[in-house]
Structures are given as C-alpha cells and as structure tokens.
Chains A and B, each alone.
Chain A
C-alpha cells in the first residue's frame, strides 16, 4: 500500500489547478513543471520496477463508493508500466511546445491539458473496472474542450462528433460493466468491480458474449478501428497539433490496453467467442488504413490512417492469443506512441514553415535547407514503417509470428500492411522533404524549441531499437498472464 501512484496521478491536475489561480502567463509553467515532475516520477518507478514478478506493484487500494462496490484501486504491472511511462513521456514535449505558443485563454487550455494527463494516467493505472470507466470517460472532457476551443476549421462539429462517437462506445461499455459487476456477484455476496475479484468470479458465457461486444465497441472507437473510425478525419484535421499528437499517441492506447487488462482476463469465453471477428476487424483496419494513408493529401490524415493500420496490428497481436503476439502488441503500443508524438510535432514544424499548409500538394523540398529536421523526420519515418533495426520492427514481427501460429491466413494478409506502411511513409517523407519546393514553403531548419521537444523522443526511439529487451523483459510475465485465460478456453474448444 503506497501513495506513490496517487501522487503521480493527481500531480498534473494539481499543477493545472494551481495554474488556474496564477496570473495569465504563469499557468503554462505550472503545468509544464507538473508534467516534468510526473516524468521524473515515472522514470524513478521504471528504475525501481521489479521485472519478472507478475503481480501488481505500488498498489493503492481504498474504499471509494462502497454502496456500488467501487474501489479506488491503482497498481502497476508489466502491462501498464510502459503505458504510464509513455503518457509521462508524451505529455512533456507536447506541453513544452504548447507553452511557447500564444494561446487564447491560456489558463483554460493548460488546465485541460493537465486534466487530460491525470485522466489518462488514471485509466492506465486503475485496477477497478468502474474506476477505469470513470477515467476513460473523463479523458474526453479536456479533449473535447481543447479541440473545440482551440482547434481550427470545423472544430465544433469535429469535437462534437468525436465525443459522441467515443461516448456512445463507452456508455455502452458502462452498461456492460455494471451488468458484469451485478451478474458476477454470487448470491449473498457484495458487488465488486475490482478486476482481481471479477477474474475470480464468473459470468455465464451467453452474458459474456454481449458484454465483450459492448466493451469492444468502446475500445474500437477509441483506437480507432475500421468500421468505427468515422470521427477520425474531421477530428484530426480540426485539432490543435499538440492535442492530436496526444490523442493519437496515448489515448488510442487506452482502448487496446483495455482488452488486455479487462476483456481477456475477466471474460475469456466471450473473448474467445469473438476472436475470429475481431481478428477480421483488425486485418481490415490494417489494409483499409494503409490504403487510405497512401491516398491522402493532408499530412495529418496520412498519420491518422496509418494509426488505424498500426492499431489494427496491435489488436491482431492481442487476439492471436499467443505469447509472442501479445508481447508484440504490448511492445507496439509503446512504439507507436513514441513515433506518433514526434511525427505530429514535426508536422507542426512543417506546417509552420509552409504558412499553415498541410496538403502534400503544396509541400516539398524542405530537406535542402533543413538537414536536422529532415534527419529527425527520416528516423521517425523509418521507425514508423518498421525498418529492421527499429523497435517497431521487433514489435510487428512478434505480432506477425504470433498470428502465424494459429491464424496463418490472417497473418499473411496482415503482412501486406507492413509493405504498405513503407509505401505511405516514404511518400509522406518524400513529398514534404524532397521533390520541388512548394510555392509557399520557407525552408528553415528546426528551431531550438522544437528540437528540444523532438530530439529526446527520437533518441528514445533509437535506443529502444538498439535494446528492445529493455521493454520485453519487463512486460513478459504480465503479458503472458493476460492472455492465459482465453488461451485456455481456446485450447478447450479445440480439444472438444
């Protein structure tokens, strides 16, 4: 029982609240300090983390709403360790970049940014289903305000669509979660939403089936995956760049993380029932996302659709119910987050130099006078397209190997996505950095601020490519444990 996680969790919010009472110009520094503190704490925790032990560490477990059986339960294991670290890592450069821009109503913006970090951290750390949902829904509020208040173009429409899509999913998940809690309560027992407790209790297979479907709906919308990505184009186009970087890098992971943390261990029969469908959704997302990423002109949308493809890979890895696949998925969740933040920050830099233009048709030729920017971009591009030697390569290979074990056909089809990734990422790089210079492109190299924000992330990407075992050995035990239950069910079904 420690207080560490509570401190990490509420540090950003506290910083945001302090910022709200400081003079106008000071709010940003308070929030920036808060995110840096969270990062420091996260790194300390990473160093202190006992790899190899499968159990939860730094557990906090308190009563919250006893009538509803909701507990304030936080904990870290191999599954969410790197998600927490990713959140902490992603928020610092984004806050940094935002802090040096002039914002309309800066206090409100930075308060939302801070609230967003608290909510995301809470969703990752929560070990109680209801608490998870509280944070899962709470994430939407700051992002709703940030996109609607500080976005561009059709921002209100975009943000409304974003919230309705996501909340439609997560409210249905809420209904399923309550049903899960109620129906799993043994006669005369107390209702509980604690994940550990829910794992011990059981719900009939018929109930698990529709519950898993509702959970998946929420997570697929959030990810986003193929048929539920309707909010993506408008939201990506209208968001402020830091917001969309965080949305794409971190928030999208909460959904897929939910599968590993909640759906697979608590509802193994239900997960097994829908395995085939979810794999098909994943493979479809890979192909669909890749093709659309290739055909987009807007730079942001290229990344947006590439994310759909990447998240497809992750879901494929999870639902292969295989050690390698799940391991790859967990690794890829981190990798994708780590490349998307610098990608979007670089897009921000590019757009700045092109007078706000973000269409590939009007960009180009920037590398000539901006070698540093081009180098950073190239590294990130290679990482995104999973060049051998990058951590993403390791992740994707693990996922594909995992799927070959049992779902060979789907695995082979998904492999096409790896090739397509090379095509659209190289196209993105070429059309912005090489080719003829666009008409309004002012080719200046990356400024010190952006460099300070982007370079450390690129360094982390390179380091992970060199030493992927750093992540794998810390996550292995928990990942294997997460898919143990559905795999058992699968084997039972197979042996029948």
Chain B
C-alpha cells in the first residue's frame, strides 16, 4: 500500500499569503452587514489591517539569499518575491486610502470592493512567488479577474463598464497567449518547474535554438507584454486607465506593473536565463519601441489619466531594459525602479483623485489650472511627481534612471541606455506642460495639431464629494512626494532592499 505523502508546507513562509486570503474572506463576510459604520469604516479598516499584517509578516520572514520552496516547489519565497510583495501591499494601502470616499466602493458594495482588491493582491503575491508554470498562470488569473471587475465598479458610468469589458477581453487574449507559450515551453523542455526548465535549456537534448522553445518564449513574452503594457500590446492601457475608477487605476498602474515585471524577471531571468542571447535582443527592441510609443502617445493627451497611462507604457519600456540585460545588476535596477515608480505615480494619482472630486473638469488638464496658487499642498506633490518621472535630479526618478542606464551599459546594451535617455527627452514635452499649467498661470495650452479623439472628462465629480474634506488623499500625495525627494537624496534604503533582491536569482551573471 502506497502512502500518500502530504506535501510539506512551510507555514512560516506562507504566512503573508494566508493572512491575505483570510483577510479577504473576512472582509467579504463583514461586508455583508449593512450598517453604515461597518461599510464605511470597519471594512476599509479591516482591509488595511490585513495589508499591514502581511507587511509585518513579510518583514519577519525577510532573509536575504534564502530561497524557501513551499508546497512542493510550486512557490518560492525569496527576497525578490518579498520585496515586490511589499510594493503590492503599499499600493493596496494607498488604494484603500484613496477609495475611502470614492464612488466606486459605494456603488459596488464595500465588502465586495475591498475583498476583490485583496484577492487581486493575493494573485500578485502568488505570481511573484511562482516557481512553476502552473502557479504562474494561476497567479496571473487570480490577479486579473478581480481587476476586471474592479475596473467596472463605477456602475453608472459607461466608461467604467467599457474599461472593465475592454480589460477583460484584452486581458483574456493576453492570458491565452501566455498560456499557449507556457504550454510550448513545457512541451520543449518537458518540465514545469523553473529550476528544471533552466536545467533543461542548453543541455544536449534542448539547444537554445530549438524552434518549439523559441516560439514558446515568444508567445509567453507577448502574453506578459499585454499585462505589463509593453508596446505594441499596450493599446488597452489608456482606455482602461481612464475609464477605471481612479483609485483602481492607481493600484493597477503601480501594482500590476510590478507584478508583471516580477514574473518577467523570474521567468526570463531564471527559467529561461540561458536563452538570454536569444530573447535579449528581441526584448530590447520591444523596450525601445515601447519607450518611443509611450512617450509620443502621451504628448497629445489632455486627460491626466490617459497621460499617465501613456507615461506608464513608456516606463514599462524603461523597466524592460533592466530585464533585457539578464544580469544581477539589471534585476536590481528593475526592482529599484519599480519602487521609485510606485512612489512617483502614487503621488501623481493621489492629486488626480483629489482634483477629480472637486473640479468640474474631472481629470482634464484644466482641473490643475493654477493649482500652485489655490492648493499648493496638491500642486507640490504633482510637481515633484512630474519632475521625478521626467528624471530630474534630486528626485528618486533620476537615480532610478541612472541605475537602469548603468545596468544597460554594463550589459552591453549601450544603445538601450541611450533610448531611455531619448525617451526622457520626449517625455519632457508633456510632464512640463502639467507643471506649467499648475504654476505658470492661466494660459492657452498649445496642442499639437493631431487629429485627436474628443474624450470627455471622467465624471467622478459629485457635489457631496466636493463638500467633504479629503485629508487622506492629500496626505498620500504629500507623503509619497516627500519620499520621492527623500530617496532622491538618500537612496540607501532602497539600494539595500535592491541588493537583497539581487541575491534572489542566483543564476544571473
């Protein structure tokens, strides 16, 4: 009689994940109580508590260089996963703060809204820890499906529903492509585990030029490119970012991007690491194209959310440069930039949330008109975020770009470093316009004479919302802007974390 061996589970390493799942169930259940206090206070508080618990547990199990396989090696807890999980939790906390007075949470039902948010974060954490192809796919679906719903939570606004549907359709295409690619990789290598795939590639049976393997890599890269909004698979980004409720956009912009890059790093840096000479140049071209398309696309945008969507496409290009080189330095630079990216984008989006609720212009650029005079506490964070995104020194964005260029050059992709720089130059055209609108008085903004779609501003504005103060939104904006400056001058803490992350994928050069 054969005994069925239950898989060994390291509960310690699994604890943040368990906290998240438990928290989301709890939030969903508590949300069923319809008392106002429960919906408006208790549910968000529980969500925040869940995330804080997860953060605490993550710090507790943080151990540089250690790789703990859990559940028979389908998940690996290492510093890469933990560091990126931290980004997800922080993005989640920000989303909770921004959602407190949002229309979306009210319309969708608070319990469901926050439970979905936690569910999506769970998916991201699974994805970041995934170390075989099946878990990877489970993670990606678990993160995506709640997001499809969350995008459509402003039920009475057509664009929100449109965003949800669009994201669902495109996301599914991306998932399908990814799945197909993973199947081919499995077919070629005969292994599910990243470790085993890495061992198989380059061996005598599976040369790196194997067509099946290469097709698989190509399709997997395409699927991930959809998630990370890498050009030319980025078209959904502006529409979805604009249509989704802004707190959700914030969350998607920073957390989904980080999750997509987590798996980019793990799959390409670890499992397919030996095939780097094959996929490196292809991804490098994608990165360069993404940088150009994202930055050029942003120039003609009036809607701030669309502008940041295009900017996030461009940033995906910068981040991809760190993946392309396939070195520890590249991994560190990508992790570093992801953290920086979170800081500056959250600051910018928080200001948009605040303005959207008060100004009749919604998320149009005009909503920032003369903000430097009327609300300097919002204008400063936005200014800092824009300057940081453009890569001005004394902001974290400068050091992040410096690091990425450093990694590109060291990885023999000097031209990609120059592409990053050229992209930054183009980006000045739109980042500076935002700054000019806030500080340089009312003036007729010059628009490039492109045939552009007339996009109506998002109607998040409501009289009740404008009547209420929203200190938490301003606080988020100020806090993250201050961090952007602080880490621009004293980046050591992020560097320390990035160095720990660098120990995670040992197979890199």
How long is the Cα–Cα vector from A140 to B403 in the complex, in angstroms?
22
| Complex partner residue of B392 from A67, A138, A178, A183, CB under 8 angstroms | A138
Mask for B269-285, Cβ within 8 A of A = 1, else 0?
Answer: 00000000000000000
| Complex partner residue of A163 from B428, B440, B441, CB under 8 angstroms | B428
| Complex partner residue of A171 from B391, B429, B432, CB under 8 angstroms | B391
Please determine whether A144 and B393 come into contact, CB atoms closer than 8 angstroms: no
Please determine whether A182 and B406 come into contact, CB atoms closer than 8 angstroms: yes
Please determine whether A175 and B421 come into contact, CB atoms closer than 8 angstroms: yes
Within 8 Å CB of B392, what residues of A? 137-138, 140-141
Q: Is B394 an interface residue (CB 8 A)?
A: yes
Q: Is B443 an interface residue (CB 8 A)?
A: yes
* CB proximity to B under 8 Å, residues A156-208: 156-157, 159-160, 163-164, 167-168, 171-172, 174-175, 178-179, 181-183, 191
Q: Please give me the residue from chain B that is nearest to A178 by CB atom.
A: B405
Q: Is A47 an interface residue (CB 8 A)?
A: no
B contact residues, total (Cβ < 8 Å)? 41
* CB proximity to A under 8 Å, residues B486-505: 491-492, 495, 498-499
Please determine whether A67 and B495 come into contact, CB atoms closer than 8 angstroms: yes
Q: Please give me the residue from chain B that is nearest to A136 by CB atom.
A: B393
A contact residues, total (Cβ < 8 Å)? 36
Given contacts A172-B421, A174-B402, A175-B418, contact A135 B393 (CB under 8 A): yes
From residue B144, how far is it (CB to closest CB) to chain A in Å?
Answer: 34
Q: Please give me the residue from chain A that is nearest to B495 by CB atom.
A: A67
How long is the Cα–Cα vector from A155 to B442 in the complex, in angstroms?
12
How long is the Cα–Cα vector from A148 to B441 in the complex, in angstroms?
9
The B interface, classified by DSSP as helix, strand, loop or mixed, is helix
Q: Is A133 an interface residue (CB 8 A)?
A: yes
Q: Is B57 an interface residue (CB 8 A)?
A: no
Please determine whether A65 and B440 come into contact, CB atoms closer than 8 angstroms: no
How long is the Cα–Cα vector from A130 to B402 in the complex, in angstroms?
9
Q: Is B373 an interface residue (CB 8 A)?
A: yes
Please determine whether B439 and A145 come into contact, CB atoms closer than 8 angstroms: yes
Q: Please give me the residue from chain B that is nearest to A164 by CB atom.
A: B428
From residue A119, how far is it (CB to closest CB) to chain B in Å?
Answer: 9
Please determine whether B439 and A174 come into contact, CB atoms closer than 8 angstroms: no
* CB proximity to A under 8 Å, residues B358-415: 372-373, 387, 390-394, 398-399, 401-403, 405-406, 409-410, 414
How long is the Cα–Cα vector from A329 to B372 in the complex, in angstroms?
42
* CB proximity to A under 8 Å, residues B210-236: none
Please determine whether A134 and B398 come into contact, CB atoms closer than 8 angstroms: yes
Given contacts A130-B402, A134-B394, A172-B421, contact A167 B436 (CB under 8 A): no
Q: Is A149 an interface residue (CB 8 A)?
A: yes
Mask for B152-174, Cβ within 8 A of A = 1, else 0?
Answer: 00000000000000000000000
Please determine whether B399 and A164 come into contact, CB atoms closer than 8 angstroms: no
From residue A114, how far is it (CB to closest CB) to chain B in Å?
Answer: 14
Within 8 Å CB of A145, what residues of B? 439
How long is the Cα–Cα vector from A68 to B406 in the complex, in angstroms?
8
Please determine whether B425 and A164 come into contact, CB atoms closer than 8 angstroms: yes
Q: Is A105 an interface residue (CB 8 A)?
A: yes
How long is the Cα–Cα vector from A157 to B444 in the complex, in angstroms?
11
How long is the Cα–Cα vector from A149 to B370 in the complex, in angstroms?
11
| Complex partner residue of A149 from B394, B410, B439, CB under 8 angstroms | B439
From residue B491, how far is it (CB to closest CB) to chain A in Å?
Answer: 6
Please determine whether B425 and A141 come into contact, CB atoms closer than 8 angstroms: no
Please determine whether B439 and A171 come into contact, CB atoms closer than 8 angstroms: no
Within 8 Å CB of B390, what residues of A? 167
Given contacts A148-B440, A156-B443, A157-B446, contact A174 B387 (CB under 8 A): no
The A interface, classified by DSSP as helix, strand, loop or mixed, is helix
From residue B16, how far is it (CB to closest CB) to chain A in Å?
Answer: 27
* CB proximity to B under 8 Å, residues A108-137: 108, 130, 133-135, 137
How long is the Cα–Cα vector from A108 to B379 in the complex, in angstroms?
13
Within 8 Å CB of A182, what residues of B? 406, 409-410
Q: Please give me the residue from chain B that is nearest to A214 by CB atom.
A: B418
Given contacts A105-B373, A160-B432, A163-B432, contact A174 B394 (CB under 8 A): no
Please determine whether A67 and B499 come into contact, CB atoms closer than 8 angstroms: yes
Please determine whether A179 and B414 come into contact, CB atoms closer than 8 angstroms: yes
Within 8 Å CB of A179, what residues of B? 405, 409, 414, 417
How long is the Cα–Cα vector from A263 to B402 in the complex, in angstroms?
20
Q: Please give me the residue from chain A that is nearest to B440 by CB atom.
A: A148
Within 8 Å CB of A164, what residues of B? 425, 428-429, 432
How long is the Cα–Cα vector from A108 to B391 in the complex, in angstroms?
22
Within 8 Å CB of B446, what residues of A? 157
| Complex partner residue of B394 from A65, A138, A160, A163, CB under 8 angstroms | A138
Please determine whether A160 and B433 come into contact, CB atoms closer than 8 angstroms: yes
Q: Please give me the residue from chain A that is nearest to B441 by CB atom.
A: A149
Q: Is B424 an interface residue (CB 8 A)?
A: yes
Please determine whether B491 and A175 come into contact, CB atoms closer than 8 angstroms: no
**10 nearest CB pairs, A to B:** A134-B393, A148-B440, A175-B421, A168-B425, A182-B409, A171-B421, A178-B405, A67-B495, A137-B393, A179-B409
Can you list 27 A-B contacts with CB-CB less than 8 angstroms, sorted by A residue number? A65-B399, A65-B492, A108-B372, A130-B402, A133-B393, A137-B392, A144-B432, A148-B439, A148-B440, A149-B439, A149-B441, A155-B440, A157-B446, A160-B432, A160-B436, A163-B428, A164-B432, A167-B428, A168-B428, A171-B422, A171-B424, A172-B421, A172-B422, A175-B418, A178-B406, A182-B406, A182-B409
- Beyond the given pairs A137-B392, A175-B405, A182-B406, 6 more chain A to chain B contacts, judged by CB atoms under 8 angstroms and listed by A's residue number, are A65-B491, A133-B393, A148-B440, A149-B440, A160-B432, A171-B391
